Amino acid sequence: MSVVRLEVDGGIGTIRLDRPPMNALDSTVAAELRTAAVEATRRSDVRAVVLYGGEKVFAAGADIRQMAPMGYAEVSTWVGDLNSTFEVVARIPKPVVAAVTGYALGGGLELALCADVRVLAEDARVGQPEILLGVIPGAGGTQRLPRLIGPSRAKDLIFSGRQVRAAEAAEIGLADAVVPAGEVYVQAKRIAGRYTNGPAMALAAAKQAVDDGAEIALAEALRLEAALFAGLFATEDRRIGMESFLESGPGKADFIGR
């Protein structure tokens, strides 16, 4: 049976992890997660994405039973594949919301960091506990986490391996919303739903500008932004949006995603 599936409803594609009891990340999960992310990217009826592990747990980290016997060569391939998969998720050219219940630890938090927005349950716990195993985060934790919450706070979590409750996660910018556990998925879909009728190509360009611009010098980033801006003048949604603005004012355009 599939341990990761893509479910589409009303323009929202839910990438659902389903490997009970803790959604531990092994090579099968990584392979199927990549497939689901590629499909969500390709499908025109998917306008926004939710990452979800179910009502009990998002993902409690890598499968240590699979990893423990590995040597250098094996783990290099394994972590390379996981990193590549997470990059595919992070590069989905659509708004992505992580709906975090229970635990998002280690690779689970690294997966949540690939999203644009994170919604946490009030009782959720997140962290990078790899140091407690004698290793470090290997799938984005030392890179995406400090870019999100700053180097000092990231080092605190990575050096200590401690678990962070939802309230603190919100305080340090790791969570964008904290809601009761039973409302996490609904709230994540509500946020994703804000974008399903938006200009798909402009949303993709905005995401690329922010994500890629953060990795390069300001002058180069400004050139990237200008090029992406100009490119949108070749889209139908740009024409629709500007004509609608001139005729009816802002916020009334019916975009078609092209």
80 among known catalytic residues: no
Whether residue 21 has a cis bond before it, omega within 30° of 0: yes
36 among known catalytic residues: no
Token reading at 194: 């804000």
107 among known catalytic residues: yes
Q: What is the DSSP string of 162-195?
A: -EEEHHHHHHTTS-SEEE-GGGHHHHHHHHHHTT
How far is it, in rounded angstroms, from Cα 235 to Cα 258? 6
Active-site hit among 48, 90, 110, 115: 110
Taking a C-beta distance cutoff of 8 angstroms, is the pair 149, 174 a contact?
yes
How many helices and strands, by DSSP H and E, does the chain display? 11, 9
Token reading at 214: 């953060």
How far is it, in rounded angstroms, from Cα 101 to Cα 84? 24
Active-site hit among 107, 127, 138, 257: 107
Active-site hit among 130, 177, 198, 202: 130
Active-site hit among 48, 62, 169, 175: 62
110 among known catalytic residues: yes
Helix (H, G, I), strand (E, B) or coil at 205: helix
Residues acting as catalytic residues: 62, 107, 110, 130
